[in-house]
Amino acid sequence: MTTHQAPVNGARPWALLAELTHACPLHCPYCSNPLELARRSTELSTGQWTDVLRQAAALGVVHTHLSGGEPLLRPDLERIVAAAEAAGIYTQLVTSGTGLDEARLGALCAAGLRSVQLSVQHADAKANDRIAGRPSSFAAKERAAALVRRAGLPLGLNVVLHRDNLDAVDDLIELGEAWGVDRIELANTQFYGWGLLNRAALLPTRDQLARARETVERRRERLAGRIDLVWVVPDYFDGVAKPCMGGWGAVSLTVAPDGTVLPCPAAASLPDLDAPNVRDRPLDWIWEHSPAFNRFRGTGWMSGPCGGCPRREEDFGGCRCQAYALTGDAARTDPACALSPDHHLIRSLTDTGPVQEPPPYVYRRPGAVPEPGHGGSPEP
Ligand code: SF4
Ligand code: FES
């Protein structure tokens, strides 16, 4: 058991993204997981996750997304849910639906599962399966949605939007209605990990986005009070940086499958972060004192346009991982911001529109991108 100390600058986390495994039956090209997926043999044990959840609750966490990869591939998922419940943490299962049957859902509900977020790739079954890189995955989602409704749990639909499904937004909203969901999250692709690798194939046109946005506004009025419609902004197109993660080390933390603790899910890509691990350090020390969590906390680290900008307390200078991915320097202003000296890096992509013949997807699977000096891995 660890002793809690006064948090640096008063920040307390309320949310935990628990990435239980990187293994996944789907192969979505927009996945934000790192290209180097954690191997199954490195995953935290049930006991270690139980301890993480206990420590997280002591730190102030009240909500956890049990995510991955596909968390249903963890045979001990019920025990992890029960551990969260015992710690007083609300659980949401983030799943592709593949592998969910009545018995499993019953066991998860008995363990204390509170809600489910189901991903869908397209409203058309064939298009869905092509994007997911797995046959019959749409049918599995349909079954999973019906099971969750029958169990009486709140159900959200999550759709990552891109060039190949933005024109189907209307149909996707109808699908959500037909499946009886409470919430539909239409999340324009954020380009990290596999998403960044597949950016040329996924980047939509401005016209596609404008049409989809209009549809969402129209539908939102009609669905008011019945379905919560959430539109996650496409920061590549708006010229406005997003307040990524609500600020670095401000409200949430991510625990990766191997126990690495990160201020955001994509931060594993930052080469000199020196990310801490729950195997070595207690969570409260990691949150309050680790160099990784303090690196971009607050506004003191800012220079360039962010340093004197009136919006710096609102958007926190945008996304550190995007700044690094596009400029090689995580401390620069996010190039998504129109005030960034690097904004042309994004404008040059969005102003010319996507390539006419997009390249094929590089599906997310171990070994699809050989690691430097490594021929790929048989796991997960
Ligand atoms: Fe936000 Fe920095 Fe752009 Fe100002 S300059 S709007 S703080 S990203
Ligand atoms: Fe890492 Fe935005 S994804 S700070």
CA 205 to chain centre: 23
pLDDT tens-place string over residues 88-135: 999 999 999 999 999 999 999 999 999 999 999 999 999 999 999 999
Q: Which residues pair with 15 in a beta bridge?
A: 63, 252
Considering the chain, what percentage of its residues have pLDDT values greater than 90? 86
Confidence (pLDDT) at 9: 58
Range of lowest pLDDT (3-17, 186-200, 306-320, 337-351): 3-17
Looking at residue 301, the DSSP 8-state letter turns out to be: T
Ligand with the closest atom to the CA of 319: 2
User: 303 with 313: CB under 8 angstroms?
Assistant: no
Cα 77 vs. chain centroid, distance in angstroms? Answer: 19
Q: Which of 244, 261, 296 to mutate to test the pocket of ligand 2 (most atoms within 8 A of CB)?
A: 244
pLDDT value for 4: 38
Q: Could you tell me which residue, 355 or 166, shows the higher pLDDT?
A: 166
Please give the distance, rounded to the nearest whole angstrom, from the Cα atom of residue 253 to the centre of ligand 2: 11
3-state secondary structure of 18: strand
Q: What is the pLDDT of residues 338-357, one digit of tens each?
A: 999 999 999 998 987 666 78
The CA 121 to ligand 2 mean position distance, Å, reads 23
Percentage of the chain exceeding pLDDT 70: 94
Average pLDDT, integer, range 274-284: 97
Evaluate: CB of 339 within 6 angstroms of ligand 1: yes
Which two tokens mark 379? 């796991």
Is 321 assigned to a binding site? Answer: no
Q: How many helices (H) and strands (E) does the chain have?
A: 16, 9
Return the residue whose CA atom lies nearest to atom 5 of ligand 1: 306
Q: Which of the 8 DSSP states describes residue 316?
A: T
Identify the pLDDT of residue 245: 94
What digits encode the pLDDT tens for the residues 205-244? 999 999 999 999 999 989 999 999 999 988 999 899 999 9
For residue 28, say whether it is annotated as part of any ligand binding site. yes
pLDDT of residue 368: 83
- With 80 as the cut, is the pLDDT of residue 306 above it? yes
- 3-class secondary structure, 46: helix
CA–CA dist 268, 250 (Å, integer) = 18
Q: Whose CA is nearest to atom 1 of ligand 2?
A: 321
Query: According to the annotation, is 24 in a ligand binding site?
Result: yes
Report the pLDDT averaged over residues 130-144. 97
Q: Tell me how far the alpha carbon of residue 294 lies from the centroid of ligand 2, in angstroms.
A: 14
The conformation of residue 103, written as its DSSP 8-state character, comes to H
Question: What does the pLDDT read at residue 376?
Answer: 35
On the question of pLDDT at 302 being above 90, the answer is yes
